[in-house]
A and B are shown apart, each in its own frame.
Chain A
Amino acid sequence: MRLELRARIPVAIALASPFAAVAFTLLACSGLIVWAGAPVGRAYWLLFDNAFGSRFAIGETLTRATPLILTGLSAAVAFRARFYNIGAEGQLYIGALAAVAIGGSTIALPPALLFPLMIAAGMVAGALLLLLPALAKTRLGVDEVVTTLLLNFIALLFVSTMLDGPMKDPTAMGWPQSLPIRSELAFGKLLERSRVHVGLLMAIAIAGALWIVNARTSFGYEMRAVGANARAARFAGISVNAVMLKTALLSGALAGLAGVGEVAGRAEYLTLDMSPGYGYSGIVIAMLAGLSPLGVVLAALFVAGLIVGADSMSRAVGVPTYLADVIVAVSLLSMLVAAMLTRYKVRWS
C-alpha cells in the first residue's frame, strides 16, 4: 500500500470526509450501546436532545463549551507552530488558582482595577507554567511533550497543596476548596436562568482575533512557517526560538484564561475536580478543527454537547457516561484518517 499526494483535491471528497468520519464514529459506537443493552436510536436521540433540544440544554452546552473553546485555541495555536503543549490541564488549574488568589482576596482596590488584574494574573500564571518547558526545549533541547504532560501532575499537586493550606477556605467544612471569588468580580451572566457567562463572548472574540492574527499578521505567518519547516524558516531569517517562546506564552495564557473563566464565571471557588479534563479535550478539539481558530468554536460545541448530552442520556437508558469519551476519541482518530485520505490517494500495489 502506498499514498500518493493528490494534485487536486476533489470538492466532493473534501466536503464529504468530515461527515464520513462522524458517520463512521456513530456506527462504531452503536455497537457499544447495544452491548450496554440500550436501544441505539433512542440513546443517540436522547444524547442529541439533552445537548441541544431545549433552552436549558443549550445553556448547559454553551457553559461547557466556554473553557473548551479556550483550551482548544491553546492547543491549536501551539500545534500550528509544532510546539506540542499537552499541559493545558495544568495551565488551566494554575490560571484558576491565580484568579482566586486575586479575586478571593481582600485587597483594597476598586473592582474596576481588580477585575483586569484577576484576568491578567490567570493568563500570566498559565503562560509562565508553559514557559518552563518552552525554555527547556529551546535552550536544552528537551522534548516538550513529556515535560508538559508531567507538569500537569505537578501543577495539580501544587494546587492541592495550596487548597489544603494557605488558600483553603476555613468555612468549607474541611473540603479542600478556595475562598470564593468576590461577587463584584464574578463574570456577568449572558442568559437568564442559565449558567452561560461573559466568558463565552470572550472566548469567541479571541477565536476571531486569532483567525485574524493567523491570516493577516506577520506573527501568524511566522508561527505557520516555523510549524511547516523550522529549518526553512530559519534560513528565511525568522528567529525560530523567539517564535516558539511567543507561541508558548500565548498558548499557556489561553489555557490559564480558561481556568479564570471557570472560577469567575461558573464555579465561584476552586476545587480539585473543577475540570473533567478540559485541557486534554482541548487537544482533540484543536485536531477536529484542523487547527483553525473558528473551527475550534464548532468543535468545542460538538464536544461540549457530547459531555452534556451523555450525562442525561446515561441516567435515562443506563449507558455509562464514558460513551462520550469513546465517541470523542474515535471521532478524533477517524477525522485524522479522513483528512489524510482527502489529501492523499491510496494505491494498492
Chain B
Amino acid sequence: MTDMLDIVVSAPFWIAVLRIATPLIFGTLGVLLCERAGVLNLGIEGIMVAGAFAGWLAVYNGASLWTGVLVAAGTGAIFGLLHGVLTVELALSQHVTGLGITLFATSLSYYAYRVSFPKVTSPPTVTPFSETHWFDAAPLIGKILGAQTALTLLALIIVPVLAYVLYRTPAGLAIRMVGENPAAAEGQGLSVSGVRIGAIVAGSALMGIAGAFLTLSAFNAFYFNMINGRGWICVALVVFASWRPGKALLGAILFAAFDALQLRLQQSAGATLPYQLYLMIPYVLSILALALVARKAAYPQALMKPYRKGER
C-alpha cells in the first residue's frame, strides 16, 4: 500500500500520466465535437492510424515537426469530410459508416506504409518533439509540465479553447443546436448539414493530431497496431465526460493515471500475476465507467438521428 502511495506522489508518475493522457485528450475532444453536433464518429480508430502515419511520413520526408502535425490534422479532416458527406448528406448508418471509415483509413495507411517502405524490417525513425523545459523554474507542477512536449501543452490549451467556443460563441451555439434540435436550428436559418459536416471535419482533425502525437512525440516511428483501441476508449470517455470538455480532460487524466499505475505495478509486483491481467485494466475501466454513468447520461438529443429538411 505504501508502495502505491510512493508511486502516486512522485513527479515521474505524473509526467507519465500527462504523456499517456495526451492522445486521449485530443481524441476525446474530437469525438465530443462530432457528437455535440449529433453525429457518432466510429472512424476515430482508423483516423488516428492515418494521422499517425501521415504526420510521421511528412516529417520523415523532411518536413518540420509542426508541419507533420498539420498534415496529420489535414488527413484527419479529409476522412472526416468523407464521414460527414456519407452520414449527413446521404444519411447512411453512422455506426456502419464509422466502422467502414476505420477499416478504410487503417488499411489505406498500412498499404501506403508498405508501398513506401517495401523492404524495411525495423521501422524507420524520425527525431520527435523534445521536452520543452519551459517551466523548470517553477516547483513540482512546473517540473511536470516542463517534462512534456509542446503537443501535450497544445492539448491542455485546446480544452479551454474548445469549451469557450462551444459555450460562448455563435459557432458553438450552432453546433450544440444542430445536435440537440436540428429543426429549431433550421428555423434560425442555420444550415444543419453544413454545421454538422464542419464539426465532424474539425473533430476528425483533432483525432488525426491524436494519432500524430504517438509517432511524433511518444514514439519516433510508425508501427502496425500502434493505436490499439485508444480510439474506442475515447468514444467511451466522451460518455463518461457527459460531453463536456473540462470533464473530458479530467476523464482522460484519470484514465491515464490508472494506466500509468498499472504499468508501474506490473514492474514492481514482478511475476506474481500474469502481465495480461494488468493490460486488461484500461479496457475494464472504460466499460465500468460507461456502466457507471449510463443511467444518467444526457446524450445530445439528436445524436445518431439523421436530419432531412421538411421531414419529421
Contact = CB atoms under 8 A, between A and B. Distances in A.
Nearest to A160: B276
Nearest to A141: B294
Nearest to A336: B92
A329 B49 CA distance: 15
Instruction: Give the contact-size bracket for chain A.
Output: 35 or more
Nearest to B110: A322
Interface in A268-285: 280, 283-284
Contact of B91 (A147, A150, A154, A340): A340
Contacts of A217: none
Contacts of A140: 291, 294-295
B118 A318 contact: yes
Nearest to B233: A150
A158 B286 contact: no
List the 6 closest pairs (A to B, CB-CB), nearest first: A325-B107, A320-B114, A329-B104, A329-B103, A322-B111, A142-B294
Contacts of B110: 320, 322, 325
Question: What is the predominant secondary structure among interface residues of chain A facing chain B?
Answer: helix
Given A140-B295, A141-B295, A150-B236, A336 B97 contact: yes
B103 A325 contact: yes
A322 B108 CA distance: 8
14 contacts: A2-B309, A3-B90, A140-B294, A141-B297, A142-B287, A143-B239, A145-B235, A146-B232, A146-B236, A158-B280, A280-B103, A323-B111, A325-B106, A337-B86
Question: What is the predominant secondary structure among interface residues of chain B facing chain A?
Answer: helix
Interface of B: 42, 86, 89-93, 95-97, 99-101, 103-104, 106-108, 110-111, 114-115, 118, 228-229, 232-233, 235-236, 239, 274, 276-277, 279-280, 283-284, 286-287, 290-291, 294-295, 297, 308-310
A35 interface: yes
A142 B291 contact: yes
A164 B108 CA distance: 33
Contacts of B283: 150-151, 153-154, 157
Contacts of B235: 145-146
Contacts of A325: 103, 106-107, 110-111
Contact of A157 (B106, B236, B280, B287): B280
Contact of B308 (A3, A32, A161, A337): A3
Contacts of A336: 86, 92-93, 96-97, 100
A36 interface: yes
B286 A146 contact: yes
Nearest to B234: A146
Contacts of A35: 115
Contacts of B96: 283, 287, 332, 336
B107 A333 contact: no
Contacts of A53: none
B104 A157 contact: no
B287 A328 contact: no
Contacts of B291: 136, 140, 142
